[in-house]
Structure 1
Amino acid sequence: MSEGHVTTLRIDCDDKVTLVADAHGDPADPPVVLLHGGGQTRHSWRATARDLAGSGWYALAVDLRGHGESGWSPDGRYGLNKFAADVVRIADFLGRPPILVGASLGGNSSLAALGHHPELALGLVLVDVSPFLQPKGTDRIREFMSTGTEGFASLEEAADAVAAYLSHRPRPRNVEGLRKNLREENGRFFWHWDPAFLSNRAHQAVQRDKLIDPARLGAAAMSLRVPTLLVRGGESDVLSVADSKRFLELVPHAEFTDVAGAHHMVAGDDNAVFDRVLGEFLDRRVRSRLDLFAQAAQGDEE
């Protein structure tokens, strides 16, 4: 299904889960895969995807499993292995290595995938996430996600919950934009993700978050050989400056940008700055590599 220059795609995964994605731009251009954070949907990347498409990239914004219009895990389980396998499947679907841009859950899913498939991508951009995170910040996210488990009576009520969580942002006057992040059942509005995603986050016996694995993700970070950028929200309570330094020690070739004034949802807090930082990195570190590959291939043909 196509709407203007945006095409909605469906990507089948191994366990009969179908991922839904919006593709922006020319499929012949180098692909950039945009993966959102836990509890969000592909629509959080809409402005970034449009900007990338206008700059000569093929941007694919994907609903992660259990989120948005993508399918829910049939066994109700959501662990790092499943999300990482989906990232691999997305790359297979494209038929060529993309640049992976992941916020929070999307970032660690990409990192985990690269840990087992180092040639999977041409580049990696982690947005306010690393193998090392602040428990206070991640707990605050889970607390917010829990506010919607019983649903909301109206869009206004859902907007109030968002405003309380994102107190640094002005509350939108028109709440209709929230509809794409909600599903309506029996007259109530629920966040557009599988409730099992939240209940499965921590194993009750050991109180360990299945999506945060510093040892595994740290090892994956050490194996990175692709151009890498870590973007931190300057006011983030999830990724600290110390966490960022630990990551950069593991990945000395990585670049780092701190977006002043932004919180955990960096792109949403300052999309203009984020898009500029992302665009400059892609042009400088990735497009130049693609140009070299193209020149080498032309030389071989001659």
Structure 2
Amino acid sequence: MSLVENPQSRFYHSRGLRLHYLDWGNVDAPLLILIHGGLEHARVWDQLARQLCADWHVVVPDLRGHGDSDWSTGGAYAIPDFVPDIAALVAELGDRPTTLVAHSLGGNIAVHYTALFPERVNRLCVIEGLGFSPEARAKRDAKSRREQLREWVERVRELDRLGPSEYPSVEAAVERLMGHDPLLSRELAEYVCKRGLKPNDNGQWRWKYDHQIRGFGAAEVASVEASDLWQAIECPVLLMYGAESWASNPQDDGRIRHFAQAQVVSIADAGHNLHHHQPQVFMQYLQNFLTAAS
């Protein structure tokens, strides 16, 4: 089989939205779905997808509000809002058992989907996608639900006021991205920006995501830990963390105990975007996990 250089762009529908995904071919191979993080897009997985598509039918969605997918009217971007979209995508692909690899927001969505439909997921790799650490959750919940809800309303009102970020050029966006994530290579930053920006009528450039995603959703105000969902996951789970990340490692904070069969890997010299910071090391761990006996 010849390797695919450029995937097919396809669309499906979920809850009134037209959602986009990339299909890397090899449809007779086992299904592998890659789910990007918040404020990203499907093309951030291109390098990994090219390495995997010889052995897998790789499919990469743009989450609602991201990339070439529709935006949600009214800012429906809480974690539960995304889960039916993944269920609709799996149905679009023939309701086949799948393996999920997902980052950050995408990881949280993948965890929820796997917990609700454990019979449909063979393996799950989550890159820093378990949400609030116990410490962060305790700090948040020191405030009353009323206080948290008011802060959320004020945050989304501020997003309305500010509107989306704009840049005079793609190069300016690259500099901003690298300033936010200094462990990212310039080559990858340029690749992500060129495929993740679109021009405005005023000559400025803006990201191809709905800025309201930054407001999350009211459903997440004073939300409980999802450990009851984690306990429902039956398949092998790989939880990956960057040693330089702000995220709390579940091996250290105790959340690992809620998973029936999970392993935690910490990657040195990597942060929240560890699959971008140390792609070869990440790929080695991932390949070992994907090919391990159950």
What is the TM-score with the length of structure 2 in the denominator? 0.82
Determine whether 1:167 maps to 2:176. no
Deviation at 1:178, TM superposition (A): 1.6
Determine whether 1:74 maps to 2:81. no
Q: Which amino acid aligns with 2:199?
A: E
Could you tell which deviates more after superposition, 272-281 or 33-42? 272-281
SS in 1 for 2:106: helix
Identity over aligned pairs, percent = 25
Deviation at 1:170, TM superposition (A): 4.7
User: Any idea what the Cα deviations from partners look like across 1:90-132, whole Å, max 9, x if unmatched?
Assistant: 2111220211111011111111122322213111111112144
Q: Which residue of 1 aligns with 2:16?
A: 16
Determine whether 1:91 maps to 2:107. no
CA separation of 1:155 and 1:263: change in aligned 2, threshold 3 A: same
Q: Distance in 1 between matches of 2:13 and 2:242?
A: 33
User: Any idea what the Cα deviations from partners look like across 1:174-197, whole Å, max 9, x if unmatched?
Assistant: 946522111211211111101221
Q: Distance in 2 between matches of 1:85 and 1:244?
A: 32
Deviation at 1:135, TM superposition (A): 5.0
Determine whether 1:263 maps to 2:232. no
Deviation at 1:247, TM superposition (A): 2.6
User: Any idea what the Cα deviations from partners look like across 1:127-171, whole Å, max 9, x if unmatched?
Assistant: 1121443759xxxxx9xxx89923111112212211210123354
Q: Which amino acid aligns with 1:161?
A: R
- The RMSD of aligned alpha carbons is 2.7
Q: Distance in 2 between matches of 1:177 and 1:113?
A: 27
Matches within 5 A, 1:130-145: 130-133=130-133
Contact 1:131 1:213 in 2 (8 A): no
SS in 2 for 1:122: strand
Deviation at 1:89, TM superposition (A): 1.2
Contact 1:132 1:214 in 2 (8 A): no
CA separation of 1:5 and 1:150: change in aligned 2, threshold 3 A: closer
CA separation of 1:244 and 1:84: change in aligned 2, threshold 3 A: farther
Q: Distance in 2 between matches of 1:131 and 1:78?
A: 15
Deviation at 1:173, TM superposition (A): 10
Q: Distance in 2 between matches of 1:35 and 1:152?
A: 26
Determine whether 1:30 maps to 2:30. yes
CA separation of 1:242 and 1:12: change in aligned 2, threshold 3 A: closer
Q: Distance in 1 between matches of 2:117 and 2:80?
A: 13
Q: Which residue of 2 aligns with 1:41?
A: 41
Deviation at 1:69, TM superposition (A): 0.5
Q: Distance in 1 between matches of 2:280 and 2:87?
A: 29
Q: Which amino acid aligns with 1:190?
A: R
The answer for unaligned runs of 5 or more in structure 2 is 138-154
Contact 1:32 1:101 in 2 (8 A): yes
Matches within 5 A, 1:148-159: 149-159=164-174
Contact 1:122 1:226 in 2 (8 A): yes
Q: Distance in 1 between matches of 2:241 and 2:188?
A: 28
Q: Which residue of 2 aligns with 1:180?
A: 195
Count of residues paired in the alignment = 266
